[in-house]
Structure 1
Amino acid sequence: MQFLFIINPISGNEDKSHLLRMVKAELKTDDKLTIFKTTGENDTEKIQQQLKKENFDRVLVAGGDGTIKLAAEAMGENALPIGILPAGSANGLASDLDLPEQPKKFIPIALYGKTRKIDAININDELGLHISDFGLNAELIKEYESSSLRGKLGYAINSITTLFQSKGPYEFEISTEKESFTKKGIMLALANSKKFGTGAVVNPKGKIDDGIFEVLLFKKLDLFEILKTLNEGKELSSDFVESFPVKEVKIKTQQKVDFQIDGEYCKAISEVNAKILPNKLEIAVRLG
């Protein structure tokens, strides 16, 4: 097999050389590995150039959700199977797919594992893989990206500052296939899966391959309900969050609100158009 191995050297604040060594040790004799390291400059175009040079069988991605999104967007309509090596500050997609956390277990899956088709969301002509949102969480990610603290400790410390500085609640105008309405909340999420990258379960009913996604409106700051998200299976109160299953949605705000896609801060915006893309990606998920 021919593999294109996309490595994000700075994701998760950890060196990836050990992953590269382990991948090389796991390869079969006739396999070929082409390595591409992201730099943050024209990565999409450079990956596309690499894809044109060889007939790759699979793309390996060592990084977080943003790096997987980068690889998927670079492949476009000619998507190859993706093998995920979770190595970001937040690995929401890997967590939602129940991939192992230990390299010696997830590397064989990434290389040779059976694949599964999953949906994605077109969000203002960008690809969303698991959860994107307006408001509080996007504000947290903005603070985190400008901080020198990385990993889950960085998220925890920055969350304290963000909670005190949040500009919410916000007013959201929501138009689905069936109805239009206005709601207020501290955060509005587009959820294709169950979990944030931190592992917090915010959409217990979410399925990543059911042809729909959920619009989640978080109405207020509630510490008890936030703690419940850390325990899978806990049902969140309807006073805390409302869920609207959709295939397509348009969201408008009166003011520009911070927005993020899959853990990557975008910018403050006032309008989002989102539509489900069924069976968009093929991900290696298990051996055998």
Structure 2
Amino acid sequence: MNFNQVLLIVNPISGDLDKKQIIQKARDYAKTNQITIHLFATTGEEDVKKIQDRLDSLKIERIIAIGGDGTINLVAKAIKSYGIPLGIIPAGSANGLATNYGIPESLEEQVKIAFGDAIFEMDLLNINDDICLHLSDLGINAELIQNYEESRFRGKFGYLLQSLPTLLTSEYPFEFEVETNFKKQQTSGVLLAIANANKYGTGANINPNGKMNDGKFEIIIYRKLDLAEIIKTIRNETDVNSDVVETFQAEEAKIICKTPVAFQIDGEFKGESSEVIISIMNEKLKVVVPAEFNSQALQA
């Protein structure tokens, strides 16, 4: 380790894990390795500016975020221009980015990785002037997230409880016009995903061939609810029926919806949208990952 000043950012209300235990594990690890910890707890009030003020006043060399995808997204907004590596200790209701990087469930391993030396520089997407790290979508999954956020049950159980009501009340299929730097088409579907990474937090691998550092993103259109074909994409099978699922790459894109459609970024419901504009940001985000992830990325 060639750093000794760490800003530990924690979202005290994300997920249902005991954050005090996680903070103490991080403090113990830092003390053993003669590293100074500075603690910052998010409040929902000007967190980006407050984090940047800390970075400007302290000689921070590593940032570690404790929380879910929403917390990681917030931290990324604050630090993307600083070039400081970000370690992740997943502790939210949804932990999609941690799932994509293969961060294990063991807290001790999570802490060790977050303080580690394996750095991966990932692309960042600009979607309607907002930042996206791994997955955004329009349609039935965003409706599920909206219903989940309005319910009182957290975690994967909360998502499960909202699945059937979402299916019963959704007004799919949705009409989309998709324009990229190389094609323009009219289409309809139950879900249109904008993917920088491979997996949702549930582990569903909807974008098996995507890479988070190739300067491109994937657009995935599920034209109808066909369980057999959806399972094929999750299993990374290549003979997916193109009448059900279509995937193509882009460097920039514009999506126009015939009527406003539920929209989410990194697991956070953003309301209903009629137009979505996507591009690759100039900045990269340095993420601390398991060493084996970097080895797999080099082989891919």
Please state whether the residue corresponding to 1:77 is helix, strand or coil.
coil
Structure 2 counterpart of 1:42, from 39, 46, 56: 46
* Residues 184-226 of structure 1 deviation map (CA, whole Å, 9 limit, x = unaligned): 0111110011101111111111111111110111101123334
Give the aligned partner of residue 11 of structure 1. Answer: 14
Give the aligned partner of residue 137 of structure 1. Answer: 141
1:287 CA drift (Å): 4.9
Structure 1 counterpart of 2:132, from 121, 128, 133: 128
Q: Which moved more, 1:262-271 or 1:93-102?
A: 93-102
Give the aligned partner of residue 20 of structure 1. Answer: 23
1:171 has 2:207 as partner = no
Q: How does 1:228-267 map to 2 (within 5 A)?
A: 228=232, 230-231=234-235, 233-235=236-238, 236-267=240-271
Structure 2 counterpart of 1:110, from 92, 114, 126: 114
For 2:61 and 2:200, the matched residues in 1 are separated by: 30
Structure 2 residue identity aligned to 1:206 = G
> What's the TM-score once normalised by structure 1's chain length?
0.95
1:194 has 2:198 as partner = yes
For 1:147 and 1:265, the matched residues in 2 are separated by: 13
Give the aligned partner of residue 290 of structure 2. Answer: 286
Give the aligned partner of residue 296 of structure 2. Answer: none
* Residues 36-84 of structure 1 deviation map (CA, whole Å, 9 limit, x = unaligned): 1112222112212211110100110111111111001012422310000
Structure 2 counterpart of 1:73, from 72, 77, 94: 77
For 2:210 and 2:264, the matched residues in 1 are separated by: 19
Structure 2 residue identity aligned to 1:4 = L
Preserved contact between residue 101 and residue 290 of structure 2 (Cα < 8 Å): no
**Aligned-pair RMSD on alpha carbons?**
1.6
For 1:115 and 1:140, the matched residues in 2 are separated by: 33
For 1:75 and 1:41, the matched residues in 2 are separated by: 17
Gaps of 5+ in 2: 293-300
Structure 1 counterpart of 2:95, from 91, 109, 124: 91
Q: Which has the higher strand share?
A: 1
Please state whether the residue corresponding to 2:60 is helix, strand or coil.
coil
Gaps of 5+ in 1: none
Preserved contact between residue 67 and residue 89 of structure 2 (Cα < 8 Å): yes
Give the aligned partner of residue 212 of structure 1. Answer: 216
Identity %: 44
* Residues 212-258 of structure 1 deviation map (CA, whole Å, 9 limit, x = unaligned): 11011110112333444554x33443232101100000111121111
Structure 2 residue identity aligned to 1:220 = K
Structure 1 residue identity aligned to 2:254 = K
Q: What is the number of residues matched between the two proteins?
A: 287
Classify 1:10/1:33 alpha carbon distance in 2 versus 1 (closer, same or farther; 3 Å). Answer: same
* Residues 8-28 of structure 1 deviation map (CA, whole Å, 9 limit, x = unaligned): 111112221111111011114
Structure 2 residue identity aligned to 1:123 = I
Please state whether the residue corresponding to 1:148 is helix, strand or coil.
coil
> What's the TM-score once normalised by structure 2's chain length?
0.91
Preserved contact between residue 211 and residue 278 of structure 1 (Cα < 8 Å): no
